[in-house]
Amino acid sequence: LVVPDSRRTMRVSSFLVGLAHSSVRATVRQGMPTATAGARGLSCSGALPSPGLALNDGRTHPQIGFGTYKVGFIPASASAAAAGAEDAGAQGPTAKECVVAALGVGYRMLDCAQFYGNEAEVGAAIAESGVAREELYLASKCWTNTIFDGPGAVRAQVMRTLEDLGTSYLDLYLVHWPVPFKHVDAYVELQALKEEGLINSIGVSNYAVEDYEELVADDRVKIKPAINQIEVNPFLYRQQTIGFFEAEGVKLQAYRALRDGKAFEHPVILEVAAKHSKSAAQVLGRWCVQKGFIYMPKSVKPERMVENAAVFDWELDEEDLGQLDSLTTPGTLETFKALYEKCVYRDTPTPDRKDGIKSITAG
């Protein structure tokens, strides 16, 4: 039996409303710390308690958020899709259904992007959820093709994101990749949009030390990035790079904190999980927040959304941290460096271009 879309949406939405008030969410909250004073929406009724991290621009960022990459839609140039490991396009539950679920569970920070191809559905979910705008922390990013096309395209994309998400301002907006010869211009445009009140905080994503140094050396850059969103997990723990950005006062958002589930059977992860009676995902998530990073897990399953958030009421000990910190290998760093070089021109008119690609600090 094929259920019509309208009936399916009603059925899923009813389930999610019930989930939002279920005892399983109360279990997540048990023992979790209260939110830092002044963090937008972090202590509002219905939200998951979350520490608030102070940014270098005076604003506060929740330490946990919900990632929307590959939620309801897989971009055609996503790594796995390009490799033939998964199909591009609509996938499983819609982004609207998943985000309604996440908001029902209590997530209030949503990590969005032009590249994710689902911002209109995220906006529909926000509208349906009934969660007030002031309780939310909405972040987005402009993709490489827009960065390549210049400041006007960046501005147009920000305006489209505002419309798609149904909001008059964004809490955070990032340059998604340091496209050579183009990314500084994109960032300068974000400065202007911030000054106009359309964006509260601005930052970057996938920036190496060398990209950041190029950016801040430009005389037009008057506002330092508040955020750098990079892949961070025990299997890609780039301590030299992380130390650099921490010294610069730039907070790090961690994507792939859970490694897409690909490390859940790793013996070290399982050993630490058994020791603390936690799941593999909770071990990886706890490592992320205990290191001071912003943790943005994603799942299309409400029960996993709940599980992933249960990371604030327990701690890893020094032995655990030592084991986890040692999982990054030289081979992993070389793989990362090759991926960086492949991605900086990805989806631009010149994807195979090599000039301007920096020799970066991988570790």
What span, in angstroms and rounded, lies between the C-alpha atoms of 121 and 140? 14
State the DSSP code for 236. B
Burial of 307 (0-12, 13-18, 19+ CB in 10 A): buried
Which amino acid would we find at residue 75?
A: P
- Let me know: does 298 contact 68? Beta carbons within 8 Å: yes
- Let me know: does 62 contact 43? Beta carbons within 8 Å: no
DSSP letter string over 253-294? EEESTTGGGTTTT-HHHHHHHHHHT--HHHHHHHHHHHTT-E
Of residues 116, 237, 255, 345, which has the active-site annotation?
116
Known catalytic residue at 116: yes
Decide: helix, strand or coil at residue 201: strand
Q: Which residues pair with 66 in a beta bridge?
A: 110
> Phi-psi category of 162—alpha, beta or left, where left has phi over 0 and alpha has psi -120 to 50?
alpha
What span, in angstroms and rounded, lies between the C-alpha atoms of 54 and 274? 33
- b/e map 7-46, b = 16+ CB within 10 Å: eebeebbeebeebbeeeebeebeeebeebbeebbbbbeeb
Of 354, 359, 345, the closest CA to residue 144 belongs to 345
Question: Both ends of the chain: CA-CA distance in Å?
Answer: 53
Which of the residues are catalytic?
116
